[in-house]
Amino acid sequence: MVAVCLAVSLRGVASAKDNEPGAEKIAPAEKEPAVQKLPAEADEPAKDKAAKDEAEPRRVGRVLSVTLPIVSDTDRLVKRFVDRVLEDARKNHYRPVLILQLDVPAGKEQFGRGSQFGASLELARYLSSDALNAATTVAYIPRSIQGHAVLVALACDEIIMAPDASIGSAGIDEKTIADVMLAGYREIANRRRTVPVELALGMLDPSREVLEVETDVSREFVTPEGLAELRQRRTIAGQKVVIPKGEPGQFTGEQARRLGFVSYLATDRRAAARALELPPESLEEDLSLVEKWHAIQVHLKGPLDAEKITQAERLISDAIQQQGVNFICLWIDSPGGSPADSVRLASFLADLSPSKVRTVAYVPSEARSDAAVVALACDQVVMGPDAVLGGPGAHELSDIEVESVRDTIRKVLAPAKSRSWSLPVAMVDRSLEVFRCTRLGTVEYFSEEERSDQPEPKQWTPGQRVTTPGGLFRADGATAVDFRLANRTVEDFSRFKELYGLEDDPTLVEPSWADFLIRAMGSPGVAVLLLMIGAAAVYAELHAPGVGIGAFIAAVCFLLFFWSRFLGGTAGWLEAILFLAGIACLVLEVFVIPGFGIFGLGGGAMVIASLILASQTFILPHNEYQMDQLQTSLTIVGGASLGFVVLAALMNRWLPRAPFLNRVMLAPLSDEEKQQLTQSESLVDFRRLVGRQGVTTTQLTPSGKARFGDELVDVIARGELIDKNAAITVVEVHGNRVMVETV
């Protein structure tokens, strides 16, 4: 019996895979093991199996994510999805399980409120009509929902919920509950009988009190008015209030399971598939059942590095936003090489909405080490028969890198893709042991830690170990399908296109001239040149303030540097803010607070830190790869500093004498000018002031003015700042420089 699972979360359509694992191959990290038959296939006689298949059509799961709230367009998308599934089921002779995942976008606190009553009622009538008797409809509720989206759940044959999710408060968006709404909820509840009528009305109308009554033959849900009538027909064994008057009905998954209108509790799609006795890989959304594919392919070949990862991420993002792409073939043929960057790309792929884009990793040859993490971050994985997934690659992961990849797989990839995390982690972690676990005929591959995290861990019986101690797990194409790490194997790319109904080759998205420009500007050599010229331009501006040419050139150079780093994925707002704050501190030190104090040191440190951080994706290095990146960053800053010193010396020597450019930097004083200046200064003799006391007329920071009798003199504080109107004494005189200190 093929169940049509309606997962109420309008974000996408998951295509179900008909191929259940046939031969179970145990593939340890370093050697190919013998082939084992799955118990169901090895033990069941062929004749009995054929007779069973003929008597009962196979069940195939199809998933559509419906993002709340429900509006008029939602009804159109769901009908198109259901119609195409039913047509395909008639052609291929299976019974569909339509799973509507009623979902609320993560971070939304309104639980999908705002669903239109008219649109919700029309969709519920369609789902509960006779046209869908050829399918089984299932509402899957992974997060709490409120409002009229509840109607869609009432219209399904079964409801599956997460234990801590809740359903109810259907009338929360309405000021008053109209009779037409009560009639609509009563109509849908009576059609499917999934939720008792009085419970359905109690979720809508807060003025209704609903009782749970145990009779001599059954459990009933009635209002206080209906209780009197029930007493005439049945013997009442007990009663209690389940929906108090004045409060709308709201039930968690566990409460709804006890009340009997939720069939199963499931924390994710994988658990929902097990509850429905469907292969976990079958509960995947298939956008082609709703819209036509607009496909591209992005290549990720050879050893991975930050540049390749950043380029792939940018190409995918631009294709989705600018071209409306909904199918991405990520062609991976790589031994890995950059765990930190692979984790970044994997997190990016996992965050893509399944309702907008389908991502498929095509692995014709290999995706080893951290490249396997990128492949498993896609919605589906298609491999060549002899291709390798996982195992040792181009980079030996450190303990810190292993922990980072492990956390990403457990906390990001596994929940987003409804995958078991043990085998993917075993591809990078030699210490993890994974076992073949069974529960009521269902097979999963769990480490002891993941098995203990299951809702009923004792029901999972650990069996044969599928990993080799001290070795990294890897699997070829056929084995990866058996282990549910890959969805299909294909001989070549033409078969891949047939698999997804692609008539032509997906457009190969390659770097444009802008990408090459960004790559060139992000290279260490160009970065050094930009920083060197920018610093030299600042130096020239300080020697000829007011001209502005040096300031303009410096601004352009630093903007180009940070722009290239921003597009390259190594710089963000932190680096830009640090740089601007550092420049501001240096300006304060030079023009407002003379001297060389905390603002000068702090500003210089912030500028250097911003330039270093703008050349890498981390703050502090934690592994060998990041140490190499830090060395590159330091080399860029160090090379720019050395180049600036050389360029400044050349500017002092040649620029003041260059035609048309001599106004950019003032020429140094000639010997004759220096002699005239010395003579001019020698005419002023303040030696007579030594030992005299006076009063400051301005704050000395450290220079300022002071009055000695009737004489106003420029003075310099020695060793400290001196406030205005402070008593001072002259301690030294050098030409026209009068050094003072407080009395």
Q: Is the peptide bond before 392 cis (omega within 30 degrees of 0)?
A: no
Q: Are residues 650 and 524 in the same domain?
A: yes
Mean pLDDT within 17-23: 35
Q: Are residues 168 and 62 in the same domain?
A: yes
Mean pLDDT within 457-475: 90
557 has pLDDT over 60: yes
10 has pLDDT over 60: no
Q: Are residues 363 and 269 in the same domain?
A: no
The reported pLDDT for the residue numbered 569 is 63
Range of the domain at 681: 674-742
337 has pLDDT over 60: yes
Q: Are residues 620 and 711 in the same domain?
A: no
The per-residue b/e assignment along 201-225, b for 16 or more CB within 10 angstroms, e otherwise, is: bbbbbbebbbbbbebeeeebbbeee
Pairwise pLDDT comparison (52 vs 601), residue with the higher score = 601
The CA distances from residue 44 to 1, 12, 57, in Å, are: 19, 37, 17
The reported pLDDT for the residue numbered 25 is 35
Which of 80-89, 102-111, 240-249, 605-614 shows the lowest per-residue confidence on average (mean pLDDT)?
102-111
The reported pLDDT for the residue numbered 71 is 86
The reported pLDDT for the residue numbered 20 is 35
424 has pLDDT over 60: yes
The reported pLDDT for the residue numbered 45 is 45
User: Does residue 455 lie within any of the structural domains?
Assistant: no
The reported pLDDT for the residue numbered 1 is 37
CA nearest to 81, candidates 27, 28, 15, 140? 15
Which of 30-39, 63-72, 121-130, 487-496 shows the lowest per-residue confidence on average (mean pLDDT)?
30-39
The reported pLDDT for the residue numbered 14 is 36
288 has pLDDT over 90: no
For residues 108 and 280, give the distance between their C-alpha atoms in angstroms, rounded to a whole number: 27
Mean pLDDT within 472-478: 91
Q: What are phi and psi of 430, to 5 degrees?
A: -70, -20
Q: Are residues 400 and 494 in the same domain?
A: yes
Mean pLDDT within 235-241: 88
267 has pLDDT over 90: no
User: Does residue 480 lie within any of the structural domains?
Assistant: yes
User: Does residue 41 lie within any of the structural domains?
Assistant: no
The reported pLDDT for the residue numbered 97 is 92
19 has pLDDT over 60: no
Mean pLDDT within 455-484: 89
Q: Are residues 504 and 555 in the same domain?
A: no
263 has pLDDT over 60: yes
Q: Are residues 504 and 527 in the same domain?
A: no
Q: Are residues 620 and 719 in the same domain?
A: no
Q: Are residues 350 and 262 in the same domain?
A: no
Q: Are residues 477 and 517 in the same domain?
A: no
H or E stretch covering 360: strand 358-363
pLDDT in tens, 114-144: 899 999 999 999 999 988 988 999 999 988 9
Q: How far is CA 579 from the centre of its chain?
A: 27
> Which residue among 603, 631, 657 closes a domain?
657
CATH classification at residue 273: 3.90.226.10
Which of 154-158, 453-457, 518-522 shows the lowest per-residue confidence on average (mean pLDDT)?
518-522
Q: Are residues 345 and 486 in the same domain?
A: yes
The reported pLDDT for the residue numbered 512 is 58
User: Does residue 714 lie within any of the structural domains?
Assistant: yes
pLDDT in tens, 672-693: 655 665 655 555 667 888 888 9
The reported pLDDT for the residue numbered 666 is 53
Report the predicted TM-score, pTM, of the whole model to 2 decimal places. Answer: 0.56
Q: How far is CA 82 from the centre of its chain?
A: 30
For residues 407 and 542, give the distance between their C-alpha atoms in angstroms, rounded to a whole number: 50
Pairwise pLDDT comparison (41 vs 453), residue with the higher score = 453
Q: How far is CA 341 from the centre of its chain?
A: 13
pLDDT in tens, 533-545: 888 888 777 766 5
The reported pLDDT for the residue numbered 721 is 81
The reported pLDDT for the residue numbered 157 is 94
Q: How confident is the model at residue 8 (pLDDT cuts 50, 70, 90)?
A: very low
Domain tally, the chain? 4
Q: What are phi and psi of 183, to 5 degrees?
A: -65, -40
According to DSSP, residue 614 is labeled T
Average per-residue pLDDT in the chain? 81
> Which residue among 490, 508, 526 closes a domain?
508
Q: Are residues 307 and 421 in the same domain?
A: yes
User: Does residue 620 lie within any of the structural domains?
Assistant: yes
Pairwise pLDDT comparison (53 vs 656), residue with the higher score = 656
Terminal C-alpha separation, the chain: 101
User: Does residue 678 lie within any of the structural domains?
Assistant: yes
Pairwise pLDDT comparison (265 vs 288), residue with the higher score = 265
22 has pLDDT over 80: no
pLDDT in tens, 482-498: 898 998 899 999 889 88
33 has pLDDT over 60: no
The reported pLDDT for the residue numbered 178 is 92
Which of 184-198, 305-319, 346-360, 607-621 shows the lowest per-residue confidence on average (mean pLDDT)?
607-621
Which of 90-94, 154-158, 387-391 shows the lowest per-residue confidence on average (mean pLDDT)?
90-94
Which of 206-220, 511-525, 551-565 shows the lowest per-residue confidence on average (mean pLDDT)?
511-525
Q: What are phi and psi of 712, to 5 degrees?
A: -100, 120
Which of 152-156, 213-217, 590-594, 686-690 shows the lowest per-residue confidence on average (mean pLDDT)?
590-594
pLDDT in tens, 499-517: 888 877 788 776 655 556 6
Q: How confident is the model at residue 31 (pLDDT cuts 50, 70, 90)?
A: very low
Q: Where are the beta strands (DSSP E) in 416-520?
A: 434-439, 442-447, 461-465, 474-476, 488-489, 507-508
User: Does residue 69 lie within any of the structural domains?
Assistant: yes
User: Does residue 47 lie within any of the structural domains?
Assistant: no
For residues 738 and 732, give the distance between their C-alpha atoms in angstroms, rounded to a whole number: 6
Which of 15-19, 215-219, 372-376, 710-714 shows the lowest per-residue confidence on average (mean pLDDT)?
15-19
Cα Rg, the chain, nearest whole Å: 37
The reported pLDDT for the residue numbered 376 is 94
The reported pLDDT for the residue numbered 252 is 94
Q: How confident is the model at residue 17 (pLDDT cuts 50, 70, 90)?
A: very low
Pairwise pLDDT comparison (621 vs 95), residue with the higher score = 95
50 has pLDDT over 70: no
